[in-house]
Structure 1
Amino acid sequence: MTRLVAVVGATGTGKSELAVDLAERLGRVGERAEIVNADAMQLYRGMDIGTAKLTVDERRGIPHLLLDVLEPSEEASVARYQIDARAVIDDILGRGVWPILVGGSGLYVGSVIDDFRFPGTDAGIRARLEAELEAEGPGILHRRLSTLDPEAAAAIGAHNGRRIVRALEVIELTGEPFGSGLPESRSRWRPTTIVGLRLERPVLIARLDARVERMWRAGLLAEVEGLRPAGLGTTASRAIGYAQALAQLDGALDEAQAIAETQALTRRYARRQVSWFRRDPDTVWLDADDPERADGAFGAVQSAAGRLPG
């Protein structure tokens, strides 16, 4: 078995906290662990409130890697992340330490533990598709994608213009469905101990709605206003919560509208996360509200390792 552990699940289920708890639990039996971020938006420096990034104190001395490694003006890329994350995990494993990969960005998690291969890009095709997106909106492009690759269209949704453009670009480049890039074989890091956190849908919705309201109370608008002078790139400026805060600052939305839109998009995103992670039959699912969930996660690791003391 590998020593790699992944903690996954929908946003708002407490993955980051569980990862720290598990690292401490491993420490009590003489094993060291370090946490590797697999949340695309937590790669960005200064994007803290809207991404629910753990504070330094909340990390409890456990090393966290691939947090705050990009400026908001830079564009996050899963292909780049795959290279960086695998290098970080190789280094952790080489030091005899347990890497704990944690995040809700399913493609980012999958890029590390599965055999994802990412097609290249073509600046001309990308520019043409982005011009269409700007001129006509995502609806027409999504209908085109539905014809070419219905599975990808359903997974991406009708409103994620950036991912629709990428899917159409890959289809045009490769002549194959976008979904064909998903792995059929296992990578070097399978089997991985995958721990998933779940909540009943009504409980999760209520928690997510409350969390969005807390983000505004905690100063999300001030955070976004502080990031603007240095510039926010396409990825950062379209992040859930950040796009709505920008719209509020620009007067396009009032606060109630910005919060309501963020809540709706967060609920939709959580639904997609649940669908993504449910596909993996190897995941050990735990109740996110179980006070003994850290022991459950440790038990899953212990069972896979077959050599850890209790």
Structure 2
Amino acid sequence: MAGEVWETCAVKTPTPTPRVIAVVGPTAAGKSDLGVALAQQLGGEVINADSMQLYQGMDIGTAKLSPAERRGVPHHLLDVWDVTVAASVAEYQRLAREEIDRLLARDRTPVLVGGSGLYVRGAIDVMEFPGTDPAVRTRLEGELAERGSGWLHGRLAHADPAAAHAILPSNGRRVVRALEVIEITGRPFTANLPGHESMYPTLQIGVDVGRPELHRRIADRVDGMWAAGLVDEVRELEAAGLREGRTASRALGYQQVLTALAGDCTEDEARAETIRATKRFARRQDSWFRRDPRVHWLSGAAADRAELTDRALTLLERAVTA
């Protein structure tokens, strides 16, 4: 993809050398493996930017790399929250920037890896999060429980069509947050999203996989999760309070298995729905990152992981010498 590695001001200034690498793209594209390989080559460490990998015990269903798969590369911001804790992008931002600053101070390269677009932007871009209003939040959550997420999503579509397009109607938690921000700020939710102004000189690398191949990988990954014991993992987390977790209980795979454990569908139906939902999610991830002109896309279809790593390193070399 043509263009600068990061945005510059209207007055032409020297392009800063990248100090942070971000590996982004849809689920199952191969981001984790590339992140590890780049960290090995650059003397770096990985910072997780997958919102669900922040949860303790959610290993199989989030495709969290095992210690062996990390190949000796330190990984940060995994297993941070209990499954009962509601996710907070603002809290993640604080934690991620602490890790980035700590690694930069030690001359280590932070390699941010993940497909949670808002988390990536929160870590590396100039971005402030609106506060919360407990009274507004409680009222909206009451309406969510009474009327359902689809009804609230209709309200959001009227108030902020762009936000409604970006948020799934089934994601009640995010719909509530968007409506809360609109009410307390008097501005559209999307008006509070960041521009393309970086906190750190960053090279963003998108891993691009054609849709048929990506869909095949997603189906294989979900089948592998079931074979690896996802149902048992969810059953153990259910005993630890997973159903009470407003965020974790809605994670792909976990939500579907919880439905099966409640007797509302079969395990085969839950697996099939997980595949369908993950494909939909991957399309939205891809759309999110495609809107950022700073992302440089590399084909992740190549079977040779070393080739993909070499192409990413070439991108970095060009950015350094630009």
Same fold (TM > 0.5): yes
Cα offset for 1:111?
A: 0.6
**Are 1:37 and 2:52 counterparts?**
no
Unaligned runs of 5+ in 2: 1-16
**Are 1:68 and 2:79 counterparts?**
yes
Q: Tell me what 1:293 maps to.
A: 308
Q: 1:8 aligns with which of 13, 24, 41?
A: 24
- In the aligned structure 1, how far is the partner of 2:177 from the partner of 2:194? 18
- In the aligned structure 2, how far is the partner of 1:228 from the partner of 1:54? 22
Cα offset for 1:185?
A: 5.2
Deviation string 1:35-91 (CA, Å, 9 cap, x unpaired) is 000000000111000000000000010000001111112122101000110011000
Q: Tell me what 1:273 maps to.
A: 285
RMSD over aligned Cα, in angstroms?
1.2
8 Å CA contact 2:23–2:205 kept in 1: the answer is yes
Deviation string 1:200-238 (CA, Å, 9 cap, x unpaired) is 111111211221111111100101111122212111111
8 Å CA contact 2:24–2:204 kept in 1: the answer is yes
- In the aligned structure 2, how far is the partner of 1:227 from the partner of 1:184? 38
Deviation string 1:80-129 (CA, Å, 9 cap, x unpaired) is 00011001100000001100000000000011111221101111111111
What SS is found at the alignment partner of 2:69? helix
Q: Tell me what 2:6 maps to.
A: none
Q: Tell me what 1:235 maps to.
A: 247
Q: 1:103 aligns with which of 114, 128, 131?
A: 114
Unaligned runs of 5+ in 1: 27-31
- In the aligned structure 2, how far is the partner of 1:55 from the partner of 1:73? 23
Q: 1:181 aligns with which of 160, 172, 192?
A: 192
Cα offset for 1:182?
A: 1.3
Which residue identity is paired with 2:60?
A: I
**Are 1:225 and 2:269 counterparts?**
no
8 Å CA contact 1:3–1:305 kept in 2: the answer is no
- In the aligned structure 2, how far is the partner of 1:93 from the partner of 1:55? 25
Cα offset for 1:187?
A: 3.0
- In the aligned structure 2, how far is the partner of 1:120 from the partner of 1:262? 33
Q: 2:211 aligns with which of 157, 178, 201?
A: 201
Q: 2:173 aligns with which of 125, 143, 162?
A: 162
TM-score (norm 1): 0.94
TM-score (norm 2): 0.91
What SS is found at the alignment partner of 1:195? strand
Q: 2:59 aligns with which of 48, 53, 66?
A: 48
- In the aligned structure 2, how far is the partner of 1:69 from the partner of 1:164? 25
Deviates more, 1:286-295 or 1:94-103: 286-295
Taking the TM superposition and a 5 Å limit, the aligned residue runs for 1:226-265 are 226-232=236-242, 233-265=245-277
Q: After TM superposition, what 4+ stretches of structure 1 lie above 2 angstroms from structure 2?
A: none
Cα offset for 1:272?
A: 0.5
Deviates more, 1:1-10 or 1:226-235: 226-235
Which residue identity is paired with 1:76?
A: A
Q: Tell me what 2:39 maps to.
A: 23
